[in-house]
């Protein structure tokens, strides 16, 4: 299943999918209208909102019944958040995301 988080100022409407792959695509919209992307605090708040949306799309660890599902959820969330941050193309949000990734890598060591 493919997950995408779209950054939008307004509402995005999608037409009905026509292929099996398209039916597995789940999308969500996160508005950045109320965030000043030139302010670190707002960039961090927006990243948190993107991460919460990824939780909704991909699932939460409390939804897990098997370790394979946990790996799938972790991968899904990481890809959905990275894709949304890349599409947004906001330097402070990207920097906050990179800092989170670095902290996560350090905690695994």
Instruction: Name the pLDDT band for 24 (thresholds 50, 70, 90).
Output: low
Domain boundaries, the chain: 2-108
Confidence band of 23 (pLDDT split at 50, 70, 90): very low
Residue 68 half-sphere exposure toward CB, CA atoms < 13 A: 0
Position 17 scores a pLDDT of 36
Q: Which of 92, 37, 80, 36 is nearest to 55 (CA)?
A: 80
What is the model's pLDDT at position 73? Answer: 84
Strands (E), the chain: 2-8, 25-31
**Residue 102 pLDDT > 90, yes or no?**
yes
Q: What is the pTM of this model?
A: 0.72
Per-residue pLDDT reduced to its tens digit, 25-65: 678 888 888 899 999 999 999 999 999 988 888 877 676 67
Q: How far apart are CA 70 and CA 90, in angstroms?
A: 30
């Amino acid at each position: 299943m493919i997950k995408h988080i779209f950054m939008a100022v307004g509402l995005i409407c999608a037409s009905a999918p026509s292929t099996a792959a398209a039916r597995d695509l789940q999308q969500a919209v996160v508005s950045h209208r109320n965030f000043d992307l030139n302010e670190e605090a707002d960039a961090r708040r927006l990243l948190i909102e993107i991460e919460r949306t990824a939780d909704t799309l991909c699932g939460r660890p409390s939804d897990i019944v098997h370790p394979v599902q946990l790996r799938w959820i972790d991968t899904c969330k990481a890809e959905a958040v990275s894709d949304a941050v890349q599409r947004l193309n906001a330097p402070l949000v990207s920097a906050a995301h990179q800092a989170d990734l670095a902290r996560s890598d350090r905690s695994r060591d």
